[in-house]
Chain A
Amino acid sequence: MSIPTDLQYTSEHEWVRFDGDLAVVGITQYAADALGDIVYVDLPKAGKTIVAGSVVGEAESTKSVGELFAPVSGEIVEGNQSVVDSPELVNSDPYGDGWLFSVRVSSLGELISADAYAALIAE
């Protein structure tokens, strides 16, 4: 399973890509595969202030519901409307077009490296 090495991760199966103080957030391939076909996502609205570790949205598959946790604190810049319209993007391209939301970061949450994440899901 691919775990891009240029990203950071959380133990809640999210990934974060940093670009200056902007963070783009999604869920990992492992999480998307485990959920099955994702049919609905509920994302935080632009302008909302989020706190690392809190629940900020949901991803639902035909079989399961997954809660989305904020990996960082900050202000939501954008929710990915493409994913709201076509939730299957999360399954088909979790690290690309299936990104979920972007955040203007004020502080970091507990993030782990790709290696640490790989070890976590291999447990």
Chain B
Amino acid sequence: MCNSHETLRHRNRGGVPSPIAGNESTFGVFVTESLKLSPLDGIHRELGASFTDFAGWDMPVRYSSDLAEHHAVRSAAGIFDLSHMAEIYVGGPGAGAALDFALSGILSNIPLGRAKYSLLLNNQGCIVDDLVVYRTGDEEFLVVANAGNRHVAVEAIRERARGFECVVRDDSDSVALVAIQGPNSLDILENIDGLEAGGLAELGYYRCLSATFRGTTVLIGRTGYTGEDGFEVYVPASDAAELWRAATVAGESRGLQACGLACRDTLRLEAGMPLYGHELNESLKPVQVNAARAVDLTKDNFVGRDGIMAGVTASAAVLVGLKSDGKRAGRADYAVESNGRTIGTVTSGALSPTLGYPIAFALIEPEFAELGTVVSIDVRGTAIPATVVSLPFYSRKARA
């Protein structure tokens, strides 16, 4: 037996970035010295996690079962270590204006305690990274970028912030990120011993607040990447293990499950959320991937504006959701076809654990993007019919 994308035989992983969402990163058990370790690494090893090389970090891919972890988040709660994510502090009187110039949206006017999804564009208006920006003070912002784009994002923001009165600081190594996601997540956070966080229950989606955990200041956002209610806690790396253990105690009677990056990928896919390197990359413009809402053209000047204004060609691929019958899922890089002709490519796909049928994101020719259009996915030589459907595939509101 062998994996059709990457053999089960041992290989030198060499610390080469390999996005989890692909089919290729399940076997990350061969640690090389170049991999970075999370501040929670000791806990993961105690828990018997399997690991994967994610953007140069040795991160838990699963603790027990991808499916059990996935279902725990949908039905109860899951706790994730996301310490590989990049945290970039931007502060000073010109911080808001700098971010307005550096990123696609207007960040200077988001109120204190709010978060906003935004894009880092290049001069051509294509996507260099997608990020979440939290306003943490009158003149302070936390920009959270993907691990694989950490250095690119830090350098780009630093370069673009020149001439603005602000500092840009890469805090990624000193800040850990613990996410608690799922319908029981509020109940769990309210019962973490030592967490003083007033107003959590009233905290709206994409809002954040400052709290303390045993005397240490932490930032809690009602944000996530799973399609469930949930929280992300930014905590100093030195306090992360204590927070994780306290959350585990609070979660014991509330169905909390330690969750790896494998289920994070199927959760975000069901929720219709793009993953950089799959649905987003440096050759795509926001309008192609349903992300035009993250671009604010009322701004006179920001990096990428000319490229956005230039638009895309009529034949530029667009991102769609596909669903199929049966159990065989299209996966990243599989061809999408119509009448035997290749019309696009799957960017992510899986047999949906919640829905029970195969789902996929694909970039396809626009004439096939209308809802209800039937195309096919070449699943290793077999044409599997797939229908263009609206996103997200799964919504907790629709279920409720």
A binds B: yes
**Which of A's residues lie within 8 Å of B, judged by CB?**
10-14, 27, 30-31, 33-37, 39-40, 42, 58-69, 91, 123
A122 to B239, CA, bound (A): 35
A69 to B3, CA, bound (A): 11
Partner of B266, one of A27, A35, A42, A62: A62
* Docked-complex contact A36 and B65, CB < 8 angstroms: yes
* Contact pattern, B 23-35, Cβ under 8 Å of A = 1, otherwise 0: 1011101000000
* Docked-complex contact A62 and B262, CB < 8 angstroms: yes
* Docked-complex contact A64 and B23, CB < 8 angstroms: yes
**Residues of A contacting B2 in the complex (Cβ-Cβ under 8 angstroms):** 12-13, 66-67, 69
Contacting residues of chain B (23-69) with chain A, CB-CB under 8 angstroms = 23, 25-27, 29, 50, 61-62, 65-68
24 pairs of residues in contact across A and B, judged by CB atoms under 8 Å: A34-B3, A34-B29, A36-B61, A36-B66, A36-B262, A37-B65, A37-B66, A39-B327, A58-B4, A59-B1, A61-B66, A62-B67, A63-B26, A63-B61, A64-B26, A65-B3, A65-B4, A65-B5, A65-B380, A66-B4, A66-B8, A67-B3, A91-B65, A123-B10
Which one of B10, B23, B26, B68 has the highest number of Cβ atoms from chain A below 10 Å of its Cβ?
A: B26
Partner of B1, one of A37, A63, A68, A91: A68
With A31-B8, A60-B329 known to touch, is A65 a contact of B23 (CB < 8 Å)?
Answer: yes
Look across to chain B and name the residue whose beta carbon is closest to the beta carbon of A34: B27
Look across to chain B and name the residue whose beta carbon is closest to the beta carbon of A30: B8
* Contact pattern, B 127-151, Cβ under 8 Å of A = 1, otherwise 0: 0000000000000000000000000
A40 to B328, CA, bound (A): 7
Look across to chain B and name the residue whose beta carbon is closest to the beta carbon of A35: B26
Q: Is B331 an interface residue (CB 8 A)?
A: yes
Give the 10 A-B residue pairs with the shortest CB-CB distance, closest first.
A40-B327, A37-B67, A64-B26, A13-B1, A12-B1, A36-B66, A37-B66, A62-B66, A63-B26, A39-B351
* Docked-complex contact B331 and A65, CB < 8 angstroms: yes
Q: Is B154 an interface residue (CB 8 A)?
A: no
Look across to chain A and name the residue whose beta carbon is closest to the beta carbon of B356: A39
A103 to B386, CA, bound (A): 35
A11 to B1, CA, bound (A): 8
**Residues of B contacting A64 in the complex (Cβ-Cβ under 8 angstroms):** 3, 5, 23, 26
**Residues of B contacting A58 in the complex (Cβ-Cβ under 8 angstroms):** 4, 380
* Contact pattern, B 70-92, Cβ under 8 Å of A = 1, otherwise 0: 10000000000000000000000
Measured CB to CB, the closest approach of chain B to A92, in angstroms, equals: 10
Measured CB to CB, the closest approach of chain B to A25, in angstroms, equals: 10
A11 to B62, CA, bound (A): 25
* Contact pattern, B 157-171, Cβ under 8 Å of A = 1, otherwise 0: 000000000000000
Q: Is B350 an interface residue (CB 8 A)?
A: yes
Look across to chain A and name the residue whose beta carbon is closest to the beta carbon of B328: A40
Measured CB to CB, the closest approach of chain A to B349, in angstroms, equals: 10
Look across to chain A and name the residue whose beta carbon is closest to the beta carbon of B69: A37
**Residues of A contacting B307 in the complex (Cβ-Cβ under 8 angstroms):** none
Measured CB to CB, the closest approach of chain B to A62, in angstroms, equals: 5
Look across to chain B and name the residue whose beta carbon is closest to the beta carbon of A57: B1
With A37-B66, A40-B327, A40-B328 known to touch, is A62 a contact of B1 (CB < 8 Å)?
Answer: no
**Residues of A contacting B9 in the complex (Cβ-Cβ under 8 angstroms):** 11
Look across to chain B and name the residue whose beta carbon is closest to the beta carbon of A36: B66
A11 to B70, CA, bound (A): 32
**Residues of A contacting B23 in the complex (Cβ-Cβ under 8 angstroms):** 63-65
Measured CB to CB, the closest approach of chain B to A24, in angstroms, equals: 15
**Residues of B contacting A59 in the complex (Cβ-Cβ under 8 angstroms):** 1
A30 to B27, CA, bound (A): 11
A34 to B66, CA, bound (A): 11
**Residues of B contacting A39 in the complex (Cβ-Cβ under 8 angstroms):** 67, 327, 351
Measured CB to CB, the closest approach of chain B to A34, in angstroms, equals: 5
**Residues of B contacting A67 in the complex (Cβ-Cβ under 8 angstroms):** 1-4
* Docked-complex contact B50 and A62, CB < 8 angstroms: no
A6 to B200, CA, bound (A): 58
Measured CB to CB, the closest approach of chain B to A103, in angstroms, equals: 15
A120 to B328, CA, bound (A): 31
A63 to B5, CA, bound (A): 11
A31 to B4, CA, bound (A): 13
Contacting residues of chain B (313-336) with chain A, CB-CB under 8 angstroms = 327-329, 331
Measured CB to CB, the closest approach of chain A to B257, in angstroms, equals: 14
Measured CB to CB, the closest approach of chain B to A66, in angstroms, equals: 5
A48 to B29, CA, bound (A): 36
Partner of A33, one of B50, B266, B329, B351: B50
Q: Is B353 an interface residue (CB 8 A)?
A: yes
A33 to B224, CA, bound (A): 28
**Residues of A contacting B1 in the complex (Cβ-Cβ under 8 angstroms):** 10, 12-14, 27, 31, 59, 66-69
